[in-house]
Amino acid sequence: MAVYTEVGDAELEAFLADYDIGEAEAFKGIAEGVENSNFLLTTTRGQYIVTLYEKRVDPKDLPFFLGLMGHLAARGINCPQPIHGRDGKALRQLAGKPAAVTSFLHGMWPRRIAVKHCGPVGEALARLHLAGRDFELKRPNALSVADWRPLFEASRADADSVAEGLVRELDAELAFLEAEWPRDLPSGVIHADLFNDNVFFLHDRLSGLIDFYFACNDALAYDVAICLNAWCFEPDRSFNTTKARALLQAYEKVRPLESAERQALPRLARGASLRFLLTRLYDWIHTPATALVKRKDPLEYLAYLRFHRSASSLASYGL
Ligand SMILES: Nc1ncnc2c1ncn2[C@@H]1O[C@H](COP(=O)(O)OP(=O)(O)OP(=O)(O)O)[C@@H](O)[C@H]1O
Ligand SMILES: N[C@@H](CCO)C(=O)O
């Protein structure tokens, strides 16, 4: 479920009066997603997405997110394009929440990831990295290495009840990554959450990227590591080298990795595993079991972390 805020007819009508996108014909809550309230709006002119930003999005970051989507869309990346009102503004209020209208993207996200999806994702990621180079706003990554320990501390007391020995293992992992985190890699705008539920395909072609609400400035290769985790493990948690090769090769056709980036990938992949392990662990412990939102399994990312820990170079992955 992801409709946290209800929108009344009169409120919607008043909101839409500030835009030039026609009159509402239908307005339906979208069940998917967990962070924000999303609605599909059909007007006399077409289809749009209305997003109400809920508590996990810091309103001060919204100009970055909306500006970035506009910037990328203008450079040919198929992502939601913020629709500006008659006053030129893309961000306003609806039902007491910050809200925006964006273009609707056609396609479906792949429920079962196949090798054929991985090349297009690698290519799209590299194109996004290039298109983001001249985006003028900056947003530091709020979930990078310095943020992991406080996140872990908030779950420490209950972590061993999720997996035996987890506290000791994560303490050691944090110490390693804090000391060895690669710091001078090429950086720029990264998506930072390009999982399969954020990538649309239509007739086997990648048709769009969504959910830019973790986007930030960080090492570009860290985004590659996030995608290797999100796209290249099988449901039994084994690593699929064929998928990884397809993703990396397609990425490098557009933006070849520097040798320092290639060398850093195993460490970046450990960090990317720990980051999602920690946010999932936090949610696992702090979300009441009765909540409507489905919690994601932190142990999936513990398995990925252990796998990457055993790799010393890309050759260890068979890449
Ligand atoms: N521009 C768009 N075009 C078409 N559908 C969209 C668009 N944006 C969002 N959606 C639909 O809304 C759903 C939820 O969107 P999104 O993933 O951004 O939600 P969220 O709650 O912000 O994020 P999260 O995935 O982190 O929970 C998507 O799965 C998709 O079905
Ligand atoms: N992609 C995240 C969810 C939040 O966007 C995860 O799988 O943990």
Task: Note whether 178 and 264 are same-domain residues.
Answer: yes
Task: Note whether 38 and 120 are same-domain residues.
Answer: no
- The answer to the question of residue 99 being in a domain is yes
Ligand 2 atom nearest the C-alpha of 296 is 8
- Ligand 1, from 211, 212, 280: best to mutate by most atoms within 8 Å of Cβ? 211
- Look-up: residue for tokens 């570009």? 220
What's the rounded Cα separation, in Å, for the pair 124 and 144?
Answer: 23
pLDDT of 291 reads 66
Contact by Cβ (8 Å): 304, 237: yes
Residues having CB within 6 Å of any atom of ligand 1: 2, 30, 32-36, 38, 49, 80, 102, 104-105, 197-198, 210-211, 213
- The answer to the question of residue 109 being in a domain is no
Distance of CA 25 to the CA centre of its chain: 31
Minimum CA distance residue for ligand 1 atom 16: 33
pLDDT of 3 reads 78
- The answer to the question of residue 178 being in a domain is yes
CA separation, residue 207 to residues 124, 196, 200, 255, 310 (Å) = 10, 13, 5, 20, 36
User: Which of 54, 71, 103 corresponds to the end of one domain?
Assistant: 103
- The answer to the question of residue 234 being in a domain is yes
What's the rounded Cα separation, in Å, for the pair 264 and 179?
Answer: 13
Minimum CA distance residue for ligand 1 atom 17: 33
DSSP-derived secondary structure letter, 198:
G
Task: Note whether 38 and 182 are same-domain residues.
Answer: no
Ligand 1 centroid from CA 179, angstroms: 36
- The answer to the question of residue 108 being in a domain is no
Q: How many domains does one find in the chain?
A: 2
Phi, psi of 316 (to 5 degrees): -65, -25
Task: Note whether 138 and 72 are same-domain residues.
Answer: no
Q: Which domain range does residue 248 map to?
A: 115-317
- In single-letter form, the type of residue at position 193 comes to D
Q: Which ipTM was obtained for this model?
A: 0.94
Q: Which of 66, 100, 69, 105 is nearest to 85 (CA)?
A: 100
pLDDT of 292 reads 66
Task: Note whether 90 and 130 are same-domain residues.
Answer: no
SS3 318: coil
Residues having CB within 6 Å of any atom of ligand 2: 193, 195, 276, 279-280, 296
Task: Note whether 159 and 54 are same-domain residues.
Answer: no
- The answer to the question of residue 4 being in a domain is no
Contact by Cβ (8 Å): 213, 35: yes
- Look-up: residue for tokens 């967990």? 34
CA separation, residue 202 to residues 56, 119, 205, 248 (Å) = 30, 15, 5, 22
Contact by Cβ (8 Å): 104, 38: no
- Identify the segments of the chain with pLDDT beneath 70: 1-2, 289-292
Report the CATH number that the domain containing residue 125 is assigned in CATH: 3.90.1200.10
Pairing of the two strands 97-103 and 92-94: antiparallel
User: Which of 53, 78, 103 corresponds to the end of one domain?
Assistant: 103
pLDDT of 288 reads 74
- The answer to the question of residue 110 being in a domain is no
Q: Is 165 left (phi over 0), alpha (psi -120 to 50) or beta?
A: left
User: Which of 83, 103, 123 corresponds to the end of one domain?
Assistant: 103
Task: Note whether 97 and 147 are same-domain residues.
Answer: no
- Bridge partners of 98, per DSSP, are 93
Task: Note whether 88 and 119 are same-domain residues.
Answer: no
The pTM score is 0.96
Task: Note whether 24 and 62 are same-domain residues.
Answer: yes
Based on the number of CB atoms within 10 Å of its own CB, is 137 exposed (0-12), middle (13-18) or buried (19 or more)? Answer: middle
Report the CATH number that the domain containing residue 79 is assigned in CATH: 3.30.200.20
Task: Note whether 227 and 289 are same-domain residues.
Answer: yes
- The answer to the question of residue 154 being in a domain is yes
Task: Note whether 92 and 123 are same-domain residues.
Answer: no
Ligand 1 centroid from CA 210, angstroms: 6
Task: Note whether 71 and 210 are same-domain residues.
Answer: no
- Bridge partners of 37, per DSSP, are 52
Based on the number of CB atoms within 10 Å of its own CB, is 312 exposed (0-12), middle (13-18) or buried (19 or more)? Answer: exposed
What's the rounded Cα separation, in Å, for the pair 160 and 167?
Answer: 6
